[in-house]
Amino acid sequence: MPEGRIVKAISGFYYVRMPDMDIRCRARGVFKKRKWSPLVGDIVTFERTENGEGWVTDIHPRKTELMRPPIANVEQAIVVGSLKQPELTLDLLDRFLVHAEREGLDILICLTKEDLVEDEKLIDQVRAIYDPTGYPIITTSIEKNTGIEELKRELAGKLSVFAGQSGVGKSSLLNAVLPHLALATGEVSRKLGRGRHTTRQVELLDLPGGGQVADTPGFSQLSFMEMEETELSACFPEMALRAPRCKFRGCLHRNEPGCAVLEACENGEIDKGRHQRYLQFLEEIHDNRRY
């Protein structure tokens, strides 16, 4: 039976990409019984029907799986944050980074709307926070067409997902990378300070240089419901690097004596604000376990 990748899912139909066409398929009832649903990004086996459509009969093993956004087999996360309109929210940026890191994805931080920044020190400050993580950082401007070619090079040959809150410019970036798409974009609400959702479903888009990128809805928050306290520091690369030097095994880097992470914070090797957000996330995980 033929195989392909699901590139879009709408109203119970899965669009499976073949070399020469997309086949609209439904999923067999066995998936519902197993409480297992196909996701965009899945490699699937399907059987053709007489009307030219098909039935998904098997889902191949997934390399990665994200639930928000719901997508499988992603290799790279482009975590997008706007420098202005809306203001950069480091709490949300770190939440996206933690979830992408937990899934084992390659990560690139993309800062948008550089043209709106009046004080260049803002960009330097953000870089100073995230340089210790080792994540590549690209600053972009759609208006000035800066950073777009660099972004294209990072996307080539990979299956990437854009992640970030609404209004940060994900669809605008995709329009710059793939101008023929003319994806819908939305203005940032002056009253709420955040963008309106312009992407309604997850869809994989083919890139001219090879690879694919997912257009996904934006989200305003991400929780840590399925994470243990001991897992969290491994999702902060600059802390994971120093954790083996902590005095106590299983150190949570809160106030333990001989903590190499706390020492690095005091020495300016790790940004104190990022460590504070780590402690905030740690408290959320602890509270989730209580209830």
Please tell me what DSSP assigns to residue 21: -
Please tell me what DSSP assigns to residue 146: B
Find out whether 117 is annotated in a ligand binding site: no
Query: 230: helix, coil or strand?
Result: helix
Bin 182: left if φ > 0, else alpha if -120 < ψ < 50, else beta: left
Find out whether 82 is annotated in a ligand binding site: no
Find out whether 110 is annotated in a ligand binding site: no
Residue with tokens 């997309």: 22
Find out whether 275 is annotated in a ligand binding site: no
Find out whether 114 is annotated in a ligand binding site: yes
Find out whether 177 is annotated in a ligand binding site: no
Find out whether 265 is annotated in a ligand binding site: no
Find out whether 172 is annotated in a ligand binding site: yes
Find out whether 189 is annotated in a ligand binding site: no
Find out whether 168 is annotated in a ligand binding site: yes
Find out whether 112 is annotated in a ligand binding site: yes
Round to whole Å and give the CA distance between 269 and 121: 19
Find out whether 166 is annotated in a ligand binding site: yes
Find out whether 113 is annotated in a ligand binding site: yes
Find out whether 80 is annotated in a ligand binding site: no
Find out whether 58 is annotated in a ligand binding site: no
Provide the annotated binding site for Zn(2+). Answer: 246, 251, 253, 259
Binding site membership: which residues? 112-115, 164-172, 246, 251, 253, 259
Residues making up the binding site for GTP: 112-115, 164-172
